[in-house]
Amino acid sequence: MEMQLCEWKNSPKNMNNKLHTICSYMAMFPPSLPYYFIQKYSREGDIVLDPFAGRGTTPLEACLNNRVGIGVDKNPLAYLLTRSKVNVPKKTKIERRIDELEGDYGSKKFSLDDIDWKIKMLYSNYTLKQLLYLREELEWKKDNADAFIAAMIVGIMHGKTEGYLSISMPNTFSMSPNYVKRFIKKYKLKKPKRNVFELLRKKLERCYQKPKIKGKAYCLDARNLSRINDKEIDLVITSPPYTRVITYGKYNWIRLWFLKEDSLDVEKRLFTTQSLNKYTIFMEDCLNEIKRVTKSGGTIILVIGDVLDRDGHFYNLAEMIWEKCAEPLEFLKLHSIISDEINDGSNVSRIWNDKRIQPKKIDRILVLKNP
């Protein structure tokens, strides 16, 4: 299989679009990748779907480029981030809502007695009371302004600089509670007194952008895209989960707390397996549903990383999905699988220094055509 030029790598980080910076997310592909394939395989007005939307990169790029972006993900955090990006309210509406929330906050009383120690060790009482108030008041599943505010909050929940609400943390994903506890003790960290409303306004100035086209977000299983009609989609761009390399609940337990979600419960809802046989069945079910919603002649782009087999060799998962899942469903392969070497060293195993989690050497882009 020939290595092909990955033209999207020459594009600027985040495609100079502010909304991509609203919140970091594990294992996200760069916005330049969906932008490239959106331009190549769709036209203005087309509908672009990502059934594993993550932080909403694909549907946002679609909306920014005059397509209708649809993002689907079973993870409530991913659903929030996608929703906040594809249906952005006016900036003045968000500003008024922040003012309204801040004005009402002074009349509230809070007890921190029942708050989990894992959360209390991260924030000053001053900051935590504001977070508790916003956690209760924001109706982010119903209101677009509240969704945008909630997305900004989870984006500043923890990090290294004064722009974040927590003690100084080594990464913007959630390290394990015991690791954080040891980290605090080792470096004698003090919980900073940060004003959530003030940091929200600063975050809004950094990340606000309003696409001309509105999109849609659904909290659904990719095997059952019940909110999407038959033959509705022109282009699919997605990155399916890679067996059990990344646990999205574990790495987001702090953000999920703010959304009133338990990270272990979220993990159980998401599909994870180390069995290639089970993974093949899962992907066949997903592709069957993708086939149903995609128009005849529509294109499906799958970004799939190599995984280790039992002998310690990297396994071409994309080729396996083509041979065992896509080809039997009578998809047409447009051309050879594009190979994208990963050289930036930003994978999970290097961050955690965990040899059990192996880095992906190559991402492969499988380009399919719905007959």
Strand-pairing partners, residue 305, are: 363
Asked if the model's pLDDT at residue 244 lies above 60, the reply is: no
164-220, pLDDT tens digit by residue?
Answer: 999 998 776 778 899 899 999 999 999 999 999 999 999 999 999 999 999 999 999
Among 7-21, 90-104, 296-310, the range scoring the smallest mean pLDDT is 7-21
For residue 1, the model assigns a pLDDT of: 37
Asked if the model's pLDDT at residue 149 lies above 90, the reply is: yes
Averaged pLDDT of the chain: 88
Instruction: Give phi and psi for 112, each to the nearest 5.
Output: -100, 10
Let me know the angle formed at the C-alpha of 142 by 141 and 145, rounded to the nearest 5 degrees.
95
Q: What is the pTM of this model?
A: 0.90
For residue 310, the model assigns a pLDDT of: 66
DSSP 100-126: HHHHHHTT-----TTS-HHHHTTS-HH
332-364, pLDDT tens digit by residue?
Answer: 998 767 777 655 444 433 333 334 444 456 788
CA pair distance 338, 301, nearest whole angstrom = 10
Burial of residue 303 (number of CB atoms within 10 Å: 0-12, 13-18, 19+) = buried
27-85, pLDDT tens digit by residue?
Answer: 668 899 999 999 999 999 999 999 999 999 999 999 999 999 999 999 999 999 999 99
For residue 279, the one-letter residue type is Y
CA pair distance 306, 364, nearest whole angstrom = 7
270-299, pLDDT tens digit by residue?
Answer: 877 777 888 899 999 999 999 999 999 999
Q: What is the 8-class DSSP label of residue 325?
A: I
For residue 35, the model assigns a pLDDT of: 94
For residue 103, the one-letter residue type is G
Phi-psi region of 14 (alpha: psi -120 to 50; beta: other; left: phi over 0): left
For residue 14, the model assigns a pLDDT of: 64
For residue 5, the model assigns a pLDDT of: 53
User: Are residues 50 and 23 in contact, defined by beta-carbon separation less than 8 angstroms?
Assistant: no
CA pair distance 230, 6, nearest whole angstrom = 32
Q: Which 3 state secondary structure label does DSSP give 315? A: strand
Among positive and negative, which fits the CA dihedral 336, 240, 272, 360?
positive
All domains of the chain in start order, with CATH: 7-87+215-256+265-369 (3.40.50.150), 91-207 (no CATH)
DSSP 58-80: HHHHHHHTTSEEEEE-SSHHHHH
320-338, pLDDT tens digit by residue?
Answer: 999 999 999 999 998 767 7
